[in-house]
Structure 1
Amino acid sequence: MNYVGVLSKMQTENGSPIQYYLVFENDFLNVNQLLDKKLSISFVKYQCLNCNLGKKIYRQGFCYDCFYEIPQAADWIMRPELSMAHLDKEDRDLVYEKKVQLQPHIVYLANSSNVKVGVTRKTQVPTRWIDQGAHEAIEIVEVPNRYLAGVTEVALKDHVGDKTNWRTMLKNEIEDVDLVAWRNKLKQYIPEEAMPYFIENNTETELEFPVLQYPTKPKSLNLEKTPHYEGVLKGIKGQYLIFEDNTVFNVRSNEGYVVSITVG
């Protein structure tokens, strides 16, 4: 079977294990069903996720022009503390910014390669944790807007990490930790304006990824340098496809790339 389409991040459904889906314009693949099968991935062309033009992808699946123009790629996406919609101030598109920023947000702890703090919209739990390859996570604070979540994250970053080591995550060289204890330890550092939203009594969420074999020395597939690759799929974790020869492919990092995928 052959499938052709523009890559966007895999859709997920939490379960035992998590189910992964590649969604193209004319095709829909349950990636779990491809485990232990040989896949061929070939780069075809670029297609910006916003303007749909065949322009070289710059970042986050967008061409250069779109990345610097559309609200979906504004600085507050990666740095929520820069959100201004709660002040009725526009960055690029106030209607969009109010829609996204003025809704419940979660500040959380996740353990993927180590314990890290992060921010996501409440509607993205547990999707955000799955995308990061976290095998356990817990909510710390639920606030009414993105700005409050951002300033809380900034305050906590002085006391806990905010980055994932992708190699450690993929090799599964991680240990279980007591996230409830971490939550309670970090409570003292939560800003006063966010303290009323601290979550006192909850338990951590555990996640199970569909992996038959973890890589020992993961090497990342770069479609620009290697436009054609073949390998046996052995697992899916985070937004990575894991192959038998230690090759790993980050689907999200290749958003906006049109690929041809052949199974078998």
Structure 2
Amino acid sequence: MAQLSGHIRKMTSSLENGQVSYQLPLDDQQLDLMPLIGQKLILKHTGHIHCQECGKKTKKSYSQGFCYPCMTKLAKCDMCIMKPETCHFEKGTCREPQWGEENCFVPHYVYLANTTAIKVGITRHTQIPTRWIDQGANQALPLFKVSSRLQSGLVEIALAEFISDKTNWRNMLKGKAQPIDLQQKAKELIPQIEAKLAELQLQFGEDAIEKLDADVIDIDYPVTQYPTKITSLNFDKTPELGGVLLGIKGQYLYFDTGVINMRKFTSYEICAEF
């Protein structure tokens, strides 16, 4: 049996011809998960957690992989990342102005996705199609390209009056989403926010929001068997877990013993046996 040890980082993914492939980073090593589907994979938490920013040991992981001090001072951990409409850069209170300029004042996309139902979301231009894969979406359609994260949040809020901006993760894990005509949904939704779009363009400029004519992206995940009941696995409760790897979707590993959200345990040190 082979082994690979290190601290968990968010699973990396690639999309080719509609099929997703996954790797699990453990520090500077990459565990290719694709050959392990259908095989036994055991994950053992060593009891150590080290902040992915400063490297210090922490008893608890905050904001998916940080110690408490880093969580309170890093811009990437601020509330405005979860709620872009609360951006406070213009007030001069951004935790890290340079980081904000490099990550928030860059092109963002507002999109529709089909996880188990239609939803609206936003992502940086560099996170396409990663963001959709992380959410477990089976379809995605970019609607608008905007100039900043704040603007994407404001457009998202407008659309969220008519459709959800949340993913039902339990339903998402239970199977493949039934196809939705996202193009038709877009045609129905966009006219309902035209007044808001005009208001935002007046505020930020005509070129700030660009309506896109994009194709629907189809996404298929390497899952051999979906569960009818979701049993969550947790390193804090069960330091050694795993079993036969049945598949991967979003940031979840499917075992014959249950599912685990690997991103939740970012910065946990583990030993993978396979």
Measured against the shorter chain, the TM-score band is over 0.9
Q: Indicate yes or no: 2:87 matched with 1:83.
A: yes
Contact 1:15–1:208 (8 Å) recurs in 2: no
Counterparts of 1:59-208 in structure 2, within 5 Å, are: 59-85=63-89, 87=90, 89-172=92-175, 174-187=177-190, 188-190=192-194, 191=196, 192=198, 193-194=200-201, 197-208=209-220
Q: Distance in 2 between matches of 1:4 and 1:152?
A: 43
**2:5 equivalent in structure 1:** 4
Matched residue count: 261
Secondary structure of 2:272's match? strand
Q: Distance in 1 between matches of 2:15 and 2:177?
A: 21
Which of these residues, 213, 221, 239, is aligned with residue 209 of structure 1? Answer: 221
Q: Which segment is superposed worse, 53-62 or 123-132?
A: 53-62
TM-score (norm 2): 0.90
Q: Indicate yes or no: 2:232 matched with 1:224.
A: no
Q: Which segment is superposed worse, 21-30 or 228-237?
A: 21-30
Q: Indicate yes or no: 2:46 matched with 1:34.
A: no
Contact 2:20–2:219 (8 Å) recurs in 1: yes
Q: Distance in 1 between matches of 2:32 and 2:176?
A: 27
Deviations for 1:42-71, whole angstroms, at most 9, x for unmatched residues? 111111111111102122211122111111
| Identical aligned residues as a percent | 36
User: One-letter code of the match for 2:66?
Assistant: F
Deviation at 1:201, TM superposition (A): 2.3
Deviations for 1:143-202, whole angstroms, at most 9, x for unmatched residues? 011111011111111110011111111111531111111112121215222586343522
TM-score (norm 1): 0.94
Q: Distance in 2 between matches of 1:98 and 1:200?
A: 24
Q: Distance in 1 between matches of 2:20 and 2:38?
A: 17
User: One-letter code of the match for 2:64?
Assistant: Q
Deviations for 1:70-109, whole angstroms, at most 9, x for unmatched residues? 1110111111112244x37341011110111111000011
Secondary structure of 1:224's match? coil
Q: Distance in 2 between matches of 1:116 and 1:226?
A: 33
- 4+ residue runs of structure 1 moved beyond 4 angstroms? none
Deviation at 1:12, TM superposition (A): 0.8
Q: Indicate yes or no: 2:21 matched with 1:19.
A: yes
User: One-letter code of the match for 1:4?
Assistant: S
Q: Distance in 1 between matches of 2:162 and 2:210?
A: 17
Deviation at 1:116, TM superposition (A): 0.8
Secondary structure of 2:53's match? coil
In the alignment, structure 1 segments of 5+ residues that lack a partner are none
User: One-letter code of the match for 1:72?
Assistant: K
Contact 2:7–2:266 (8 Å) recurs in 1: yes
Q: Indicate yes or no: 2:255 matched with 1:253.
A: no
In the alignment, structure 2 segments of 5+ residues that lack a partner are none
Contact 1:83–1:101 (8 Å) recurs in 2: no
Deviation at 1:3, TM superposition (A): 1.0
Contact 1:88–1:94 (8 Å) recurs in 2: no
